Amino acid sequence: MKTNRSLGTVKLSTLASLGVAIAAVLVLQPISAVAVTNSLVITENSSTSLTVTYNGSTSGVTVFFDGPDLWDVILPPTVEFVFVFVGTWGPETENANNSNAVAFRSPLNVFSVFSDQPGSADFPNGTPVNIGGAIDLSNFGGIRATFVDNGDIARAADTGSTFAMLAVSLTALFGASRLRSLRLA
């Protein structure tokens, strides 16, 4: 029985060429990378109250109050600050020479907040800022921090309770004056 060796060679070379063509198509496919940016929002409500959310949640975030206008914050363990970064937001409304400083520490997932500190601000209050060298290892995304200072918003007086206190005081004063006039008579 005679076999045709040229037919076997053609099949092998065709399969090899087809494999190379498929590999080339797969390699040349356009690759689209979507940059992930994680959101860190730091909100000062007063000199003793600070709220921190990471990607819209307080889960995995721990805030330690160290004293008036001073806090330490621990983020989830997947967060890492590769470089030391200090950002300042402000200025403070009651003193334009003061700002709010946030110090991100390397190589930890911890940062400190110093409110009402002397010095000018790098960024206006509420401005999102990309933290250089910050990464979340869960999605390899960068981190954008925003500082919102609500602690210095002027509070409107409570006119209802103020009026009630005035009315009680005037009633007591009127009653005391009537009692005195009765005694004199």
Residue 1 falls within a domain, yes or no? no
What range defines the domain where residue 131 resides?
37-149
The answer to whether the beta carbons of residues 149 and 115 sit under 8 Å apart is yes
24 belongs to a structural domain: no
Gap between the Cα atoms of 145 and 149, Å rounded: 13
Per-residue pLDDT tens over the stretch 108-130: 899 999 999 999 999 999 999 99
> Which of 116, 141, 167 has the alpha carbon at shortest distance from 39?
141
Mean pLDDT across the chain, nearest whole number? 79
What is the C-alpha separation between 135 and 21, in angstroms, rounded? 38
Residue 97 resides in a domain: yes
**155 belongs to a structural domain:** no
Mean pLDDT highest for which of 23-37, 85-99, 126-140? 126-140
What pLDDT band is residue 179 in, cutting at 50, 70 and 90? low
Under the banding of pLDDT at 50, 70 and 90, the label for residue 107 is confident
pLDDT at 29 over 60: no
Q: Is residue 166 part of a domain?
A: no
Total domain count for the chain?
1
Q: Which residue has the higher pLDDT, 35 or 110?
A: 110
